[in-house]
Structure 1
Amino acid sequence: MDREQEEMQFLGFFGIIKESIKIIFTWRKIFSQITLALILPLSFIFLAHIEISDLLFGKIGHDEHELEHAKADSPKYNKLSDHVTTDIIELWLFRVVYFVLYFIFSLLSTSAVVYTIACVYTSKPIAFGSVMSVVPKVWKRLMITFLWSFLAVFAYNVVTFLVFYLLVVLIDSAVIVIALFFILLILYFSGLAYITVIWHLAGVISVLEDIYGIQAMFKSKNLIKGKLGVSIAIILLLPIGSAVIQTVFNIFVAYGSGSGFVRLGAAILCFLLLLKLILFGLVVQTVIYFVCKSYHHENINKSALADHLEVYLLAEYVPLKSQDLQLERVDV
């Protein structure tokens, strides 16, 4: 990271993207190793989940269709009913396994990338072995933060559902309901984007500072002020890109009826694009952290941060005190 910390506050939408891409290409060897070790299985799990879910849903749909045309209480009906129940259980068990694996590799990938960029920022030598040895020491802190973030999203969705439900129940006018529905829908997605940005930045804070969980989320909320619009615009590129890749994968692979060559080519293309998108997302959220710190004139002591990173390698994790990460506020 060639820029001085004071200069990073001036990075906008394209500046942050350019800086993130520059970091990836400058340190492409270590990022390639992290990608092969952690992001590759993460991408494979994501795409495999789409394909297998499609097969399981197809199986359930077929058995339910046969069940509708079978005579009630007949041996065939009972057998098909058991098949449908088994299919649904298989689907839910698969989803649980998918969620656990995806969650674990997401935490590991985030830990590895954030640590690597912190080493880049402090000009600390980076080796793949040292990065992988650090990951197990920070992923638990990151897990707690992600669980709090998940709880926040869950609560947000529950409240939103209740608001929409009361809207339909209490208002008789269909025109007013539809108008309010679209207004609330816009507000809902705006709030969800805001929570998503806080979620991503809180993950970086959990690795680099002495707080995690709900405290990291509150710290993220304060840190993002002033750079909220730019951060949301950049972070939204990730789900949009993911949605595009998933759509292409569904059309040409999961639901594809073309030749095997076309399906294979589309699957490989989606896989490679997803690899790059996940890596870019992890790098850009860390760059946003340093940009926000710079914007609030919170100088990060590179020497203290380097010592903090060294502790990961030499001993049990000892959190870096927050005052080491913001020793002074620079007056501009």
Structure 2
Amino acid sequence: MGQLIGAQSSPRSIRSAHLRPELPEVDAVPPMNALEILRETVRILRADPSSFMTILALLVFPVSIALLSNAFIDASIVGALARRLILLAVASGLPLTHFLKQLCYHLAGTVVSSIVCFPLLLTFLLVAKASIAYSVACIYAGKRVVAAEFITMARRIAGRVVTTYLWVCVTISSCLAVFLVLLVAVCNAFAVLMYPPQIIVYPALLTVLVFSMVYAHTIIICNLAGVISVLEDVSGLMALLRSVRLIRGQTQAGLLIFLGSTIGMAFVEGLFEHRVKTLSYGDGSSRLWEGPLLVLMYSFVVLVDSMMSAVFYFTCRSFSMEMITADDSMEEQEMIASKLEDVS
């Protein structure tokens, strides 16, 4: 594990001015596309599987159990919120279809689950993501991951990590609130113009499509901000702004990472809903092995997603520094050219 992961890493060493002294010095990681980031993530996982599997078992697995099983969620609350959303959608002019009902129930379940599981997300999942980012940085630096060193560092960065996470929650909640307000406004505008519900569906779908792109960008920025709060001495709004600057030129790779992670999580959630909550063989014994297996699969997807976010941070930072170097070179060339013109 003493060697740097990724044969394509540059030999020159780059240390960000924002990095804390206790963090290892990381060599430059060249810009990668989404597939290369996935391959790099697999190499990092193979370099130190014990550390990442420990994080998965102790921190990610409990959160996955709570999110998939909905053990702490009252179904009546989800149903009441879903009915309110359905009434709001119908009052806005949308037709009452089976897809609309399922969408409202899914949205209500996601909101209630996020609120109920917030203590777990603020503790277990936040510590898991911080430890994953730190472990990836250690492996890139050719340094052994030591739990005692991470605990010491965690005490110093806990404030800024929590602050950044709260800003992330506010950002995502605001994005969802703006979407709902915009969707209702668009539907009501077409309803006032006396368009039938079958026609109102199309501008509503267009609004959902635009929101999906905005939401994907928001999640990418928020995930990157979480890594930044661990590896750099910034937090909160400044971490989000730093994330926006870093992601320039790497948006496509970030979108593909988000798409792959979302599909993976949705696939496992669908299997858990269908195989564990709905179906069973005979006396229901299938749940005894299918349930833990699907929870483990979901935990692994969360682990890989967090690792890819950390790798994405390093490649974005390297790309950003290369762009700065290129700009400086262009300025120097322009200055030399202007001096030559003055001499001539």
How far 1:130 sits from its partner (Å)? Answer: 2.6
How far 1:331 sits from its partner (Å)? Answer: 5.5
The verdict on how the C-alpha distance between 1:98 and 1:158 changes in structure 2, with shifts beyond 3 A counting, is closer
Between the aligned partners of 2:137 and 2:327, the Cα distance in structure 1 is 20
Aligned position for 1:246 = 269
Aligned position for 1:78 = none
- Output the amino acid matched with 1:179: Y
The verdict on how the C-alpha distance between 1:21 and 1:329 changes in structure 2, with shifts beyond 3 A counting, is farther
Residue of structure 2 aligned with 1:234, choices 246, 257, 277: 257
Residue of structure 2 aligned with 1:41, choices 62, 74, 83: 62
Residue of structure 1 aligned with 2:149, choices 130, 140, 146: 130
Between the aligned partners of 1:204 and 1:60, the Cα distance in structure 2 is 32
- Output the amino acid matched with 2:59: L
Aligned position for 2:316 = 292
How far 1:128 sits from its partner (Å)? Answer: 2.7
Q: Are residue 180 (structure 1) and residue 209 (structure 2) matched?
A: no
- Please tell me whether the aligned partners of residues 187 and 204 of structure 2 are also in contact (alpha carbons under 8 angstroms): no
Measured against aligned partners, the alpha-carbon deviations of 1:273-313 in whole angstroms (never above 9, x if no partner) come to: 122111111110000001111112359xxxxxxxxxxxxxx
Q: After superposition, where does 1:44-123 map in structure 2 within 5 Å?
A: 44-49=65-70, 51=71, 53=73, 56-57=74-75, 97-123=116-142
Aligned position for 1:321 = none
Structure 1 residues not aligned, in runs of 5+: 62-91, 300-325
Between the aligned partners of 1:170 and 1:96, the Cα distance in structure 2 is 32
Aligned position for 1:69 = none
The verdict on how the C-alpha distance between 1:165 and 1:194 changes in structure 2, with shifts beyond 3 A counting, is same
How far 1:137 sits from its partner (Å)? Answer: 3.2
- Output the amino acid matched with 2:315: V
The verdict on how the C-alpha distance between 1:103 and 1:291 changes in structure 2, with shifts beyond 3 A counting, is same
- Please tell me whether the aligned partners of residues 66 and 117 of structure 2 are also in contact (alpha carbons under 8 angstroms): yes
Structure 2 residues not aligned, in runs of 5+: 13-27, 80-110, 331-344
- Please tell me whether the aligned partners of residues 253 and 267 of structure 1 are also in contact (alpha carbons under 8 angstroms): yes
Aligned position for 2:163 = 144
Provide the secondary structure at the position in 2 that maps to 1:9: coil
How many residue pairs are counted as aligned between the two chains?
Answer: 273
Q: After superposition, where does 1:160-309 map in structure 2 within 5 Å?
A: 160-171=179-190, 172=193, 173-174=195-196, 177-259=200-282, 260-297=284-321
- Please tell me whether the aligned partners of residues 297 and 330 of structure 1 are also in contact (alpha carbons under 8 angstroms): no
Q: Percent identical across equivalent pairs?
A: 23
Aligned position for 2:335 = none
TM-score, length-scaled by structure 1: 0.73
Q: Are residue 4 (structure 1) and residue 9 (structure 2) matched?
A: yes
Measured against aligned partners, the alpha-carbon deviations of 1:14-51 in whole angstroms (never above 9, x if no partner) come to: 110000011011111221222222122222232332x5
- Output the amino acid matched with 2:269: Q
Provide the secondary structure at the position in 1 that maps to 2:32: coil
- Output the amino acid matched with 1:234: I
How far 1:94 sits from its partner (Å)? Answer: 8.8
Q: Are residue 22 (structure 1) and residue 43 (structure 2) matched?
A: yes
Measured against aligned partners, the alpha-carbon deviations of 1:238-296 in whole angstroms (never above 9, x if no partner) come to: 22211111111111112224333322221122022122111111110000001111112
TM-score, length-scaled by structure 2: 0.71
